Structure 1
Amino acid sequence: MEFTRRLSRLWRHRDFRLLTLVRCFGQSGDGTAQVGMASYLLFSPQSQTSAWAVAGVLALTTLPYSLIGPFLAVFLDRFSRQRISILVDSVRILCSLVLVLLIGGHHTSGASQVVLTFMLLIMLSLNRFTLAGLQAGLARTVSDDEYLDANSIMPMIGPLGLIVGGGSAGAIRLLVGGRAGVDTANALIFVLAAVLFCCSALTCTRIPRTALGPAPGEHHKTMTEVANGLVMALRHLASRRPAWLALSVQSVVRIGYGMLMAMVIVVYRHYLTPSGNLTAALAGIGLWFLVSGIGFALSGIVAAPLGHRLGVRHCIIVLLVVMALSQAIPGSIFWVPTLVLNGFVMGLIGQSVKIQVDTVVVAHIDDAYKGRVFTIYDAIYNLSTVLGAVIAALLLPANGVSVPVTAGFGAVYLLAAVGFAAGSRALGNAVFDLGTRANPRRADSHGTQAG
């Protein structure tokens, strides 16, 4: 009932409704494309699945944008975020269709493979760019005291889209791959991705050009001005202590989830299905990601009430302790039910932490810097996930089974909770509640106190 009331309150905003649909269609397309990429790169008969392979795939699809994204972020603060979203979806449609032609035509070697990899890289990297723009524009679609509620609803819609898109793509791979061949199944997956990106672009055209911001201002046109804009955004972020403390917590959470993803993929591939049955391994991994995705989605129901009841600062601390316990106990038992249970808890609690962090960042960053800061945030998010997968590749054995590693990272979450509690104590609880009903004031007018 609480979730329904919050959604009903937000749903009265037309631009919020449309933004929700854009993210739902777009992230459904992302989920479809990600499963297509994993099917092609990790679960083809000729592929070798290892923690290093998982880290390589994550690096391929996230690091290029993570390195150049902050330099592109200034455009989110200078040009219409609505127009950028439409342009990005149009490019992703084109990339999807090229992948359909290459994979469906069995052109997956030599020069064709280079083109195919490049198309995957562009399509999945652009996902993070458009999400940063939509996140930056979210605050303009709701009232000042609705930041926490909006930040809890929107991350719920995203994972739901990923579940729908990824689940549909997984079904295509499992049902069509055995009959018509892996390449045909993968090509159909990217057809579905193109359709979903098209729906996202068409929905975004219904949002007014200026509704998502930024506020009218001068456009930066040279690389020097872009670099200066990035430096200004970093300085602004550094001056807002609550925001960078929250981002530090989010980095730890994503490192842990990156490690967990790599471990789960390798464990299912080489320990739980030792016969080498690709279909069984893919089905098991698909179930784990589905349950974890459901946890992500349900975070929208629990995160806001917890934030309102405990306060954002206390909520972050409690959630980190829960993650520590889950990773150290069920997460260290290499049995399907306990692995799936931990996947659900880590998805639910990890995304709940992100909702609190998003709320803090939105409330403490001036609108003129939001696009750049959220792209920097996104780069940190991606880099942390890849770092987690690299740590897994360095520490885990070939079959992925290591109780000391999994239990040890539970201890890291506990240390993060202690560190955040100590580092944020002097700021006080009220500072972290900016943008919630408990403290709806804009942080823009309280930057000195907040910083």
Structure 2
Amino acid sequence: MFPHFSKRLRAFPKRALLINRNYTLLWLGGTISLIGDVLFTMMLILWVGTLLENQSTAPLAVSGVVLAAALPALLIGPFAGVFVDRWPKQRTMRIMDALRAVLVCSLLPISLPLPLPLAVKLTIMYLVVAAVSGLSQFFTPATKAILKEVVPEEQLTRASALTVGAGVFSWAIGSTCAGICYVSLGAGWAIALNAASFACSWVLVGRMRVSAAAERRASAHPTSLRRVLTELREGLRFIGGQLQLRTLLLTESLFAFGWGIVSVLAFFYITQNTHVPVSLFGLFSAVPAIGGILGTLLVDRAAGKFGATSVYARALLFAGVMVVVSTVPNQAIIDLVGFTLIGIATMQAEVLVGPLVLFATPEQMVGRVFSTLGTITTLSSLLATFLSGFVGSTLLQGVVVHLPTGELNAINLLHIGAGVLIFVAGLHASCQFRTLHERTQMNRKADHHPGTE
């Protein structure tokens, strides 16, 4: 009995690995860091809301946190991809982790009861959030690019599923703990925990054994504005010349716009249309995340059976239909089932984006492609946030459509529009990937019969 137990104990470290040692370290570092990020962001929102409690400017001040985090993705994101393609990926990730930890710690003094004007505190918060977000524009593409160096190609879908699943889990854990941490421990401890998460990521990423040759592959071109712009244009031209990347870029833009509408209106739809108590809003919001975790568990097998492009397109088609179908009845039970199915479908699609990009992109272009994709989807999501609020408050204000199943108000109509957009995204992906498959088949036939026309 004891020799058998000792044998199993020695084998446990290998069994505990996710794909391999390098990916396990990358996954752990990213998960810990993301939990810290979510905890930090939610804590900042609570902190700003508390500082401006019962003041009319509170919603604007809270939205400033979101805006400060989003702007660097639009202004820095595309250029960051150029440098990510030039720099060693592992070293880039560690430098960004170290700098983010220092920046987050700089908020500790204003968490103390010092006699600082409120405007000064808010300005420092916004600047730190923007700076941390700017550094993340280098860290995130480097994380995705290094997958090609640490994960075998046939395991990329599984690696992406594990990463996205960890993201969903991290969001649930971080947002749940944020309120408890802020109320029980205060803002200072939440800041310290986020800085510690970056330190953990720095240590774990440093333990990865990336080949020296991979780390030495850096551009020898001098760093000048003209050279950076030239390389940025080269990346955009490369995306424009690749049907698969063009398809993913437009599809993800449409999806981000549609899902942005659903996310912005979630509170009003759940509490007003389906008459769910505010106390249960968190439970309803967590349902898509539960579905998302299920989706990440199923996607690897589905992609192996039906093909990654097919599963990606079908998932978006199904998600678009379910957004429309679950919106019309205004029934809480139907929404719970619908949100679960939507979470499964959307997460399957999002898991497959990374592998599909990596399959179509050479190593020297990966940073630029992922940065461009991130910038475009962020812009689409921000536009959805602004336009859905504007249209719902002006053009559709007071509009009611009477159906046999009930009444549809502005929130219902915007939800239906979002579902149609997501369905169109899936339809576009399906048509374009079918065209790509046909071209690939024709090229293979031409290679087998080079003498024929």
TM-score range, shorter chain: 0.7 to 0.9
Q: Secondary structure of 1:402's match?
A: helix
Q: Secondary structure of 1:428's match?
A: helix
Give the distance between the partners of 1:116 and 1:255, measured in 2 at CA: 28
Q: Which runs of 5+ in 1 are unaligned?
A: 1-6, 177-183, 275-279, 433-451
Q: 1:412 aligns with which of 400, 417, 421?
A: 421
Bigger mean CA offset, 130-139 vs 349-358:
349-358
Residue 350 (1) aligns with residue 346 (2): yes
Over residues 8-63 of structure 1, what are the superposed CA-to-partner deviations in whole Å (9 max), with x where a residue is unaligned? 69835221111111111111112112212332346762466999888765433112
Match of 2:364 in 1: 368
Give the distance between the partners of 2:118 and 2:271, measured in 1 at CA: 25
The structure-2 alpha-carbon separation of the partners of 1:362 and 1:431, relative to structure 1 and needing over 3 Å to count, comes to farther
TM alignment of 1:231-270, pairs within 5 A: 231-266=233-268
Match of 1:441 in 2: none
CA contact (8 A) 1:18 1:207 kept: yes
Over residues 298-351 of structure 1, what are the superposed CA-to-partner deviations in whole Å (9 max), with x where a residue is unaligned? 332122222122222221222112211221122455565555555444433222
Match of 1:439 in 2: none
Match of 2:411 in 1: 402
Over residues 114-145 of structure 1, what are the superposed CA-to-partner deviations in whole Å (9 max), with x where a residue is unaligned? 11111122223433431211011111111122
Letter in 1 for 2:238: H
TM-score (ref. length: structure 2): 0.80
Q: Secondary structure of 2:146's match?
A: helix
The structure-2 alpha-carbon separation of the partners of 1:271 and 1:60, relative to structure 1 and needing over 3 Å to count, comes to farther
The structure-2 alpha-carbon separation of the partners of 1:12 and 1:111, relative to structure 1 and needing over 3 Å to count, comes to closer
The structure-2 alpha-carbon separation of the partners of 1:63 and 1:93, relative to structure 1 and needing over 3 Å to count, comes to same
Letter in 2 for 1:66: L
The structure-2 alpha-carbon separation of the partners of 1:406 and 1:41, relative to structure 1 and needing over 3 Å to count, comes to farther
Letter in 2 for 1:407: I
Bigger mean CA offset, 421-430 vs 386-395:
421-430
Residue 26 (1) aligns with residue 33 (2): yes
Letter in 2 for 1:406: H
TM alignment of 1:231-380, pairs within 5 A: 231-266=233-268, 284-332=280-328, 341-380=337-376
Match of 1:15 in 2: 22
Q: Which structure has the bigger radius of gyration?
A: 2
Q: 1:73 aligns with which of 67, 70, 81?
A: 81
The structure-2 alpha-carbon separation of the partners of 1:368 and 1:34, relative to structure 1 and needing over 3 Å to count, comes to same
Q: Secondary structure of 1:396's match?
A: helix
Match of 2:104 in 1: 96
Q: Which runs of 5+ in 2 are unaligned?
A: 1-13, 399-408, 442-453
Residue 39 (1) aligns with residue 40 (2): no
The structure-2 alpha-carbon separation of the partners of 1:103 and 1:70, relative to structure 1 and needing over 3 Å to count, comes to same
Q: Secondary structure of 2:44's match?
A: helix
Over residues 81-124 of structure 1, what are the superposed CA-to-partner deviations in whole Å (9 max), with x where a residue is unaligned? 21221222222222322223313436461222211111122223
Q: 1:162 aligns with which of 153, 171, 183?
A: 171
Give the distance between the partners of 2:329 and 2:62, measured in 1 at CA: 21
Give the distance between the partners of 2:274 and 2:204, measured in 1 at CA: 43
Over residues 358-377 of structure 1, what are the superposed CA-to-partner deviations in whole Å (9 max), with x where a residue is unaligned? 22111000101101111111
Kindly report the root-mean-square deviation, in angstroms, between the aligned alpha carbons of the 2 structures: 3.4
Residue 206 (1) aligns with residue 199 (2): no
TM-score (ref. length: structure 1): 0.80
